Amino acid sequence: MPSSGDVTIALAGNANVGKSVIFNYLTGADQVVGNWPGKTVDRAEGNFQYNGQKVHVIDLPGIYSFSTFSMEEIVSREYIANEKPDVVINVVDGSVLERNLFFTLQLMEMEVPMVVCVNQMDVAMSKGFQIDTEKLEKALGVPVVPTVAIRGEGLQKLIKKAIISVNDKKIPKTSNEYGGEVEKAVKQLHYFLETEKLDVGYSNRWVAIKLLENDPEINKKVELLSERSVQFANHLALELERIHDEPSFSIIASERYALANRIAAGAQKQSEYKITLSEKLDKILIHPFYGYFTSAMVILGLLIWTFVLGNFISELITNAMSFFQPVDPTLSGPVLAVLWNGAFGGLVAGLTLIVPFVIPFYIMLSYIENSGLLTRVAFMMDSFMQKIGLHGKALIPLILGYGCSVPAIDSTKILETRRERLLAAFAITFAPCSARTIIILSLVAIFVSIWWALALYVLDLLIIFIMGKLALKAMPGESTSLIMEIHSLRLPASSVILKQTWNRTKSLTYLVFPVFIAGSALIQLFYVLGVLEPISNFMAPLTVGWLKLPAFAGILLIVGAVRKEFVLLTLVSFVGTDLSLALTPVQFIVLALIGMLYIPCLSTISILIREFGVKAASAISAANLVTAIVVGGIAAHGLSLFM
């Protein structure tokens, strides 16, 4: 936390306006990404020095209003109201100025010290917009700085203006008013709140507007202090609704957009409109027909990049660490066996997952995400995702699940409700992550055929859809509509991609490595103590009788609960590299199918417990296990008739 002599700057604005680029430029490597206290929303903060003074920066979540429809909106307004940063830098996209000013006006209503950063001026110019920032500054009554953050242009001036604003301690008093009866109602309620001497932590004008919008959180806070104020606000809101014949929150929103339009129209002019390359590409990317093909190509390209490059890097790491060979506990002693085979084996396993598969996946995902391609894919897939109770934005964590379930479940924070996050996490646990992919490729693609391996992927998609429908029936509720910013396509800066990849990989590493090392050591300890074989024999009616697998398959499934590749590694240690000597083609397919579907690995269960609690994590794990047993048994008996 910053000390009393530090300056605190909060970056606020819509999603995809360049806040994160500015944040990374200012803080460099001195940044921390975690969660807001008691919330599941990402909190990014960092520090930098300016003229010998320490500046603390908070990157608030990208939002469009200060409503209470999402956790991001709640934490942003609570931070500004309660923590009271020294200055708020409101970042707006110059190419869609009118739309972004809708949020700027709400910030001004909160009467916080602020500077407006008009970013992406290059994109605005490419669309034929010329923005007079001096006129905009005069209209808003706060400092305005034009920038092109991705190239670092104007950012030094922005910081200078922000620091000057802190020293001036100037609170914006907007002279911009709404029209007619709306402004009259706001002023009446504002005056009433002043006479009641209410203090709920926000400016009284902003509180008056939120009461007229019937904001539930503000209603609760005000009602505790003055029930008369809420009653008067309801009376004024009903009068507005009678005049306009629409809900009061819609009336306020319309007035705010009208005001934003007037301000934007006075500060910008447009020359002959130029169709940008981004708009030309969008005719294909979000076309009602071709868009599905391009979306499929983006997803397929991401997976091919990950697996082809991942397999190549994995081979290099495996060769480099070939000195690691399991030791025989009867020769070396149980303590050395547990430490070497278990703890060090877990470290090697973590490296062979994160370096070859997770890092390349995150690099490409960051490029797709920051370029704007991912939002277009989410838009195209919205109708499909709605069938399992989710919207297109849920496709983003689901795609992440093909790399690793842990960051995928972590990224469900972008969804609006706990129900949607839980449905998405449930679907993610069925997605074949890189570890499960290794099993499919190593068992089926090599020893049966590539076509059977692809068939397992198709079957997995069908299972995700069916289980998603069942989960939707178990958790009925109304799904939210897809609302997300589709910004212009652009080539992201490599520095931003690398920093974003590092932050994601860093948080994953802190969770995965301890679990892998501890879990591997525990499995090795069980092996040394002779616990695994009796358990495997106990499981024989299931593994041998129902699944038609060899007796040692029970041990494979036990060790695979720590990490899925352990199924393959343990199998090789049992029978050697020529696995065809121990398994039939049907057994290869069934073992890969079970490995793909049954309970998530320890690190995935850990994050499920962290995000949703033990009860939800147990239910999801049980659903995975039952599905694997049922589908695996059907496949074992069915394929035996044909193969």
* CA nearest to 429, candidates 636, 628, 634: 628
375 is in an annotated binding site: no
13 is in an annotated binding site: yes
Element (H, E) at 88: strand 87-93
Distances (CA, A) of 470 to 387, 422, 463, 574, 615: 11, 13, 10, 38, 18
108 is in an annotated binding site: no
24 is in an annotated binding site: yes
Token reading at 212 = 């007229």
* CA nearest to 150, candidates 14, 12, 20: 20
CB 94 within 8 A of CB 120: yes
42 is in an annotated binding site: yes
CB 161 within 8 A of CB 143: yes
CA distance 521 to 345: 8
Calculate the dihedral angle through the C-alpha atoms of 632, 633, 635, 638, rounding to the nearest 10 degrees. 180
106 is in an annotated binding site: no
59 is in an annotated binding site: yes
Angle between the N-to-C axes of helices 155-168 and 19-27, in degrees from 0 to 180, rounded to the nearest 10: 80
How would DSSP label each residue in 43-64? EEEEEEEETTEEEEEEEPPP-S
Angle between the N-to-C axes of helices 418-428 and 602-612, in degrees from 0 to 180, rounded to the nearest 10: 170
Distances (CA, A) of 594 to 106, 425, 440, 585, 598: 53, 19, 10, 14, 6
Other residues' Cβ atoms within 10 Å of the Cβ of residue 536: 18
374 is in an annotated binding site: no
> Counting Cβ atoms within 10 Å, is residue 231 exposed (0-12), middle (13-18) or buried (19+)?
exposed
* CA nearest to 36, candidates 27, 28, 45: 45
CA atoms within 13 A on the CB side of 487: 24
624 is in an annotated binding site: no
61 is in an annotated binding site: yes
Distance of CA 50 to the CA centre of its chain: 32
10 is in an annotated binding site: no
19 is in an annotated binding site: yes
Amino acid at 582: A
Token reading at 571 = 């199998």
122 is in an annotated binding site: yes
Other residues' Cβ atoms within 10 Å of the Cβ of residue 491: 9
120 is in an annotated binding site: yes
SS3 143: coil
SS3 601: coil
Question: For residue 68, what is the DSSP state?
Answer: S
Residue with tokens 């806040």: 19
Residue with tokens 């079970």: 594
39 is in an annotated binding site: yes
CA distance 263 to 108: 14
CA distance 635 to 31: 50
62 is in an annotated binding site: yes
Please work out, in degrees rounded to the nearest 5, the angle formed at the alpha carbon of residue 72 by the alpha carbons of 71 and 74: 65
- Backbone φ and ψ of 516, nearest 5°: -60, -45
Angle between the N-to-C axes of helices 602-612 and 614-640, in degrees from 0 to 180, rounded to the nearest 10: 140
SS3 296: helix
Binding site for Mg(2+): what residues are annotated?
A: 24, 27-28
Binding site for GTP: what residues are annotated?
A: 13-20, 38-42, 59-62, 119-122
Binding site: what residues are annotated?
A: 13-20, 24, 27-28, 38-42, 59-62, 119-122
